[in-house]
Structure 1
């Protein structure tokens, strides 16, 4: 029998300050307990093994050795390729229980899988779990408990650690040789970016993270995104912060009309690779944007904004970013 309860007290406060989830050890009866980043305690008679997860959370769990039964959220693109958000997940190996609208699940299909646990990311500024509305979660909890991993307001390594510890509680050997090798690659890529940041700052060069839709142009706020915040605060990449973030939307971007797309400039442009955001070729169709020197010289690097939070995922992402930055910011 599985139940969820709200937990209060000093232990949770300490866990929250530590910036990661607080999985409890197995009890003498072999049961499973996990306290998520919302302060929700989940208990089960045994370790969950039929897991439904939002695709990014699924990718992180998979990288840490935990298989998932089903996913929800963007899994496959229109061209048949796997969404970057899903990371290492093989779409053919999981059931897709995404519903017809954003934040919805196919409840009948999800319930038929008899899941033990549902996992998704959590953003403090918004109610509900990522890709799951509050109303949908209420219905989901009728047949499966949910766990949320905080993905805002803390650093990239802290968020990765939260998924690692969740995977540990679910029985994975997160100290295996493979995962230690993934962490070593992550650390090496981080050092490479740190060196690039030092050189760019010495040269007076900057990076601007941007994206756009048909309706608007936007500039990304590094501090509101765990990966970019880590790149700036810990690795020293000179990513600019826009002056007027859209606080009503959580402060993740400054939204601008396309005629104001030249309000900020950078020596290198980091573009949002999500399918809903326009690629550089489409953004160049705007003459104001196209007039920037960095655009004319195609100084673009990729920002994988919603990648799985794992060492394996970000080792690849940071290595790619380092290679692209080195191409556009040569030594000398």
Structure 2
């Protein structure tokens, strides 16, 4: 979960030499080499544009959707049943090498080295200086092997996060102006309009959405403003997603954490459940009698929240279309 993200200050040992530095979030392919300044303010300089890229799975999915392939990934890639994790988006596990280590935030350093990577890419969160899915000691070891780039994916709206990945993909040679990417953007905008229309109708009817999740030990209510997608849905599309009153500040403010005895503390006409593997599915959550007594739970009015999907038009066009379909079905729209 996001509140378990561990990170630390990362110093970059960049390869190559360029006298000119790029502006933040922009790549420079002119002159005699390649340069890119990431969202940590760190500039990577290289003699040539990176070709062999390793990325955290959702970053890899976003880059692929913008026309940039990777040779390796780390983070959740394949489920126990053999299907691809939603977090990996359009990545085909058969076409990449998984360099995930045995524990959270770890990388198999030998496997990473064997790929001869030119660049490693991962997301970053506003309140943490380090890279997502890399604990401090791992990040320090990784940077001795390969230069790293961090892409902002919290504290900004979803379209801005998508644009960050588009900028990086362009710098890495991706055809972000292709007909396919433009079609993805059109589908994204069409899905956004559907959600905007649904939000307007819900607000007119006084209805609300509650984003929730649960583990064996606790029930939690999601804070929309701390998540780029939910923040976008609320502030720009008008979906009435409830903000809990007491976020867990120590954990980054992404959730209000509650005991299961308080699982009906907040009302909601529709429950948006956290679909990540670490969170229980609705059927399991409903084994708790308090949660099961929530009117929306009792009526099985659930829609999915894909919390860690790739930040791309293609990815979120599908996610938002699915959400619009589910909300329409649950509310009879």
Taking structure 2 as the reference length, the TM-score comes to 0.93
Instruction: Give 1:2 deviation, angstroms.
Output: 4.5
8 A Cα contact 1:194 1:236, kept in partner = yes
**1:3 equivalent in alignment to 2:15:** yes
SS in 2 for 1:76: coil
Instruction: Give 1:138 deviation, angstroms.
Output: 1.1
* In 1, Cα distance between equivalents of 2:131 and 2:14: 19
Aligned to 2:206: 204
Task: Report the aligned-residue RMSD.
Answer: 1.6
SS in 2 for 1:285: coil
8 A Cα contact 1:164 1:174, kept in partner = yes
Instruction: Give 1:3 deviation, angstroms.
Output: 2.9
Q: Deviations over 1:201-242 (max 9, x none)?
A: 000000000000000000000000000000000000000000
Structure 1 segments, 4+ long, off by >4 Å, are none
* In 2, Cα distance between equivalents of 1:28 and 1:169: 14
Q: How does 1:1-332 map to 2 (within 5 A)?
A: 2-3=14-15, 15=24, 21-23=25-27, 25-29=28-32, 31-331=33-333
Question: What are the ranges of 5 or more consecutive residues in structure 2 without an aligned counterpart?
Answer: 1-12
8 A Cα contact 2:40 2:129, kept in partner = no
Q: Deviations over 1:16-63 (max 9, x none)?
A: xxxxx222x31222x111000000000111110100000000000010
SS in 2 for 1:265: coil
Corresponding pairs, count = 319
* In 2, Cα distance between equivalents of 1:181 and 1:22: 24
8 A Cα contact 2:165 2:312, kept in partner = yes
* In 2, Cα distance between equivalents of 1:57 and 1:144: 16
Question: What are the ranges of 5 or more consecutive residues in structure 1 without an aligned counterpart?
Answer: 16-20
Instruction: Give 1:126 deviation, angstroms.
Output: 2.6
